[in-house]
Amino acid sequence: MAAMFSDWVIDLPVDIHRDLIFSFTVIRLLKLAKEGQKKIKNKDVIMGGQQSVFTEEELQDYKDLTYLSKKDIIRAHKRWVALAPEILENDIRATLSAEKLLNDLPELRVNPFADRLCKVFSSSESNDGSLCFDDFIDMMSVFSERAPKALKIEYAFRVYDFNDDDLIDIADLTELVSRLCGESELNQEDIENLISKIFQEADLDNDSMLTFAEFEHVISKSPDFEKRTDMISLGIQGMTITVTRA
């Protein structure tokens, strides 16, 4: 079939033969250009005139797994890389130590729970609070405006559970109040009275510990409790802790 087609083309008049070859060449070039554009689209995402390190598929995956838009994700990555360009620019899996993050991220530097935030969101097997970009984007997602309140409550509980035993006990609340109020503002008696008030409102089974269910109930299901409390910000958008002052 190919030979017959070739013979048919050769037998055409010269001018028609030339035009036909030119047409085939143009079609081939257009096809190659289209394939090239497709490869570029799949390799790099262009947004706002800037080239992203993510493929379209990767960017869509991040969007599907978080509460962030594609633009949010690209901005977050740009900010992440700016923390240590020599380490992070070409390695999406590279990590930063908790110390580096606490020193260089203003939001964490002034946050009384910064070390806990790093530890809770860290996927490091060494449990050292270091973060990779995936951990960082998870943190941004949880505290974004689009994240549901229930998710914020879940992570708030984990942050306040300082000894990681899935309960908020007297030691956890003592540490929490000390970090929020500062040791110089409250003496030991004040702290004990404040913790007692918290347990009176939240400890449904009177065992001097708060389960997640009790914590969630107080934060999300008790408007009377919220009316009689001060809202003390954690320093991260959308995340607060409710404490009853004596």
- Site of tokens 């404040």: 194
Higher-scoring residue by pLDDT: 245, 229? 245
CA distance 37 to 146: 34
For the cut 50, the answer to whether the pLDDT of residue 184 exceeds it is yes
Using a 10 angstrom Cβ sphere, with 0-12 exposed, 13-18 middle and 19 or more buried, the burial of residue 32 is exposed
CA distance 227 to 225: 5
CA distance 42 to 63: 16
Contact 76, 54 (CB under 8 A): no
For the cut 90, the answer to whether the pLDDT of residue 208 exceeds it is yes
CA distance 195 to 200: 9
The encoded tokens of residue 71 equal 């633009």
Higher-scoring residue by pLDDT: 238, 187? 187
pLDDT at position 8 is 37
Query: Looking at residues 143-169, what average pLDDT do you find?
Result: 91
Query: Looking at residues 218-233, what average pLDDT do you find?
Result: 46
CA distance 51 to 89: 13
Q: What is the DSSP string of 78-122?
A: HHHHHH-HHHHTT-TT-EE-HHHHHHH-HHHHT-TTHHHHHHHH-
What are the phi and psi torsion angles at 241 (to 5°)?
A: -120, 140
Spell out the domains of the chain, with CATH numbers in brackets: 55-142 (1.10.238.10), 149-243 (1.10.238.10)
Query: Looking at residues 146-150, what average pLDDT do you find?
Result: 87
* Cα separations in angstroms, 3 against 7, 188, 246: 6, 97, 96
Q: Among 158, 246, 136, which residue's Cα sits nearest to residue 196?
A: 246
Contact 52, 46 (CB under 8 A): yes
Average pLDDT, the chain: 76
Q: How many helices (H) and strands (E) does the chain have?
A: 14, 8
- In a 3-state reduction of DSSP, which class is residue 211? coil
Strands 50-51 and 131-132: unpaired
For the cut 60, the answer to whether the pLDDT of residue 95 exceeds it is yes
Query: Looking at residues 126-131, what average pLDDT do you find?
Result: 95
